[in-house]
């Protein structure tokens, strides 16, 4: 079946997903877009032979739109996902599903009431070959039981509108989700520490930040979030087990030996680092629509990540260790204890 897609938000990742859908996704075509910046939406629409509509709700309500893709700003996601569920239309929503656990819970409740899964959340790292290999090594017991995880999430820079809490809801949310999936274990406590601040950060932004998490099995996780690191886009993850360690592979890069130096390049943004993962997650989404509906990261995964994110934001404010307490998982999202969907 050829899916007719409506895209809400034609910014950095919106145009990337539109390109992917048109160039890489067999059987899907973008027929309508919207953006607060109407001129931008018009340009994007003209470039792909689609219509630019006044608002996101117009895109969702359009009779020729079968599937919705939400790539607008985080605080708008809840409204558009709820409207898509109400219209009975499958929706791929970029992370975060909503900016609070309460918002995610409203989506979970609406989807359960609807009676079939419609939502996939853009946690693309689960589709990254490196993270999948890391998960396989852990599941195979190659390092023994995990005890600690050391992570770094570095961006070269962020725009001025980026705030201290976005380091959690917009950035570390990736680690919060992928570590739950990697360890098949839920978070139970969160703490945030502010090291010395870089002079490259805006005055209102704490950067870097150190996020400490604890899981239900007692694994201790530290995530360095440094979003003005200057040198590149760098994602690190090392799992320390009882009998060894397993490290996320570096992206492939040519090792140069020249002029008495050895060097390799470092990628500069998420578009390059996770190019294949974005494509795999979208292809899986469209493939699943032809079967029993989305099986990728679910609204429940969005909720579970938001519960931990809320605790981290509270820990930023209070400086205290904050407990993470999610509601029991509805059977609708698969068996309890399996952290995150099987994918
Ligand atoms: P961006 O600012 O480049 O683009 C967002 C676009 O959404 C803008 O053009 C803005 O005008 C539009 N918009 C905002 N509110 C809208 C509304 N109510 N209706 C229609 N359009 C609206 O931001 P971005 O970097 O593309 O991020 C967009 C979303 O994607 C964010 O939620 C972000 O967290 C997520 N994202 C995910 C990844 C990833 O690695 N998975 C990477 C980047 C961004
Ligand atoms: C951005 O929205 C993303 O999701 C990127 O993957 C992340 O590295 C970046 O920090 C976010 O701002």
Q: Encode pLDDT of 280-305 as tens digits.
A: 999 999 999 988 899 999 999 999 99
Kind of pairing, strands 91-93 and 119-121? parallel
Q: Which ligand is located closest to the Cα atom of residue 74?
A: 1
CA angle 30, 35, 38 (to 5 degrees): 110
Q: Is the pLDDT score of 230 beyond 50?
A: yes
> Whose Cα sits closest to atom 3 in ligand 2?
171
Residues whose CB is less than 8 angstroms from the CB of residue 218 and which lie 6 or more positions away in sequence, other chains included: none
Please choose, from the candidates 100, 74, 62, the residue with its C-alpha nearest in 3D space to the C-alpha of residue 9. 74
- Residue whose pair of structure tokens reads 């990540």 in the numeric block: 305
Ligand 1 proximal residues by C-beta, below 6 Å: 8-14, 34-37, 40, 56, 71-74, 76, 94-95, 122, 124, 170, 270, 274
Task: Look at residue 291 in the predicted model and tell me its pLDDT.
Answer: 86
Q: Is the peptide bond before 88 cis (omega within 30 degrees of 0)?
A: no
Q: Encode pLDDT of 206-218 as tens digits.
A: 999 999 999 999 9
Q: Encode pLDDT of 69-103 as tens digits.
A: 999 999 999 999 999 999 999 999 999 999 999 99
Distance separating the N- and C-terminal Cα atoms of the chain:
23
CA of 77 to the centre of ligand 1 (A): 10
């Amino acid at each position: 079946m050829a899916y007719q897609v409506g895209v809400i938000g034609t910014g950095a990742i919106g145009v990337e997903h539109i390109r992917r859908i048109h160039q890489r996704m067999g059987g899907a075509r973008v027929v309508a877009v919207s953006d607060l910046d109407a001129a931008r939406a018009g340009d994007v629409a003209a470039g792909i032979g689609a219509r630019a509509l006044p608002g996101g709700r117009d895109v969702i309500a359009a009779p020729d739109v079968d599937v919705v893709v939400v790539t607008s700003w985080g605080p708008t996601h809840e409204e558009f996902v709820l409207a898509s569920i109400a219209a009975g239309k499958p929706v791929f929503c970029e992370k975060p599903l909503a900016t609070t656990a309460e918002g995610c819970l409203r989506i979970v409740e609406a989807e359960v009431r609807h009676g079939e899964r419609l939502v996939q959340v853009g946690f693309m790292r689960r589709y990254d070959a490196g993270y999948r290999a890391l998960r396989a090594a852990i599941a195979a017991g190659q390092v023994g039981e995990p005890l600690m995880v050391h992570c770094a999430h570095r961006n070269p820079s962020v725009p001025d509108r980026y705030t201290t809490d976005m380091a959690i809801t917009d950035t570390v949310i990736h680690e919060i989700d992928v570590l739950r999936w990697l360890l098949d274990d839920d978070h139970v406590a969160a703490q945030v520490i502010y090291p010395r601040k870089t002079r490259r950060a805006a005055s209102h932004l704490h950067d870097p930040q150190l996020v400490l998490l604890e899981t239900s099995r007692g694994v201790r996780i530290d995530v360095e979030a440094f979003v003005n690191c200057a040198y590149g886009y760098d994602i690190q993850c090392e799992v320390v087990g009882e009998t060894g360690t397993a490290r996320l592979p570096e992206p492939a890069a040519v090792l140069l030996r020249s002029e008495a130096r050895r060097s390799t390049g470092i990628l500069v943004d998420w578009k390059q680092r996770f190019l294949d993962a974005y494509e795999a997650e979208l292809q899986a989404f469209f493939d699943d629509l032809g079967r029993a509906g989305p099986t990728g990261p679910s609204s429940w995964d969005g909720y579970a990540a938001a519960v931990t994110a809320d605790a981290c934001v509270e820990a930023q404010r209070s400086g205290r260790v904050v407990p993470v307490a999610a509601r029991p998982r509805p059977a609708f999202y698969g068996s309890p204890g399996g952290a995150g969907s099987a994918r």
